[in-house]
Amino acid sequence: DALKVLDSDGVERAFVVGHYLGGIIAQHLAVHHPERVAALVLSSTTCFAPSREAFEPLIRGAITLAFMSSDERAANPALRHSSPLDEDTAWGCGEAILTLPRYDLMLRTFMAPALTIYGDLDSNSIVDGSKQLIASIPQCRESIILGAGHVPQVTHTEAYTEALSDFLQDLDVID
């Protein structure tokens, strides 16, 4: 679908930014159509599947958000920026994550500039996956947002924007 969007808009090469599941889509695009990716930004994502035993409780937890009021979610810093999912969506997204290929192994030949950005308080699977991406992608730089969890672009907007701007400035894309 991402490739279809590029094609329909007549975009030959794009600066691709993806957060979490969008980061997985961005990795897929970079692996299968590297000529279309001018630069890659992977935000709070991973490149390999977590264990089913560790991840299924998170899926069940996401489903319980539907039974919490928005005030209850807002009162909990870990859930403040979360949205409820219906059960089918939660399990569908979960299965997509649980069946991830090893993109880190496939991205070793990706030669465009890349940035992996994540919060130091994100889950171990995201932090570990981000570090693996940095080690695997030849031209990848790392940006860790201190004090941030899974959505640093929301919770630490200034630091996130600065990291993204610095990356784009180094590529001479923006002033």
DSSP H stretches of helix in 76-156: 87-98, 103-106, 124-136, 152-155
- What are the pLDDT digits (tens) for 51-71? 888 888 878 877 777 677 778
Element (H, E) at 41: strand 37-43
pTM (2 decimals)? 0.81
Residues 6+ apart with CB under 8 A from 160: 117, 145, 148, 152, 153
Residues 6+ apart with CB under 8 A from 102: 47, 48
Residue 175 reports pLDDT greater than 70: no
Averaged pLDDT score across all residues of the chain: 89
pLDDT at position 107: 96
Which tokens is 104 given? 């880190």
Q: For residue 77, how many other CB atoms are within 10 A of its CB?
A: 10
Chain centre distance of CA 107: 15
How confident is the model over 146-163, as a mean pLDDT?
A: 95
Residue 144 reports pLDDT greater than 80: yes
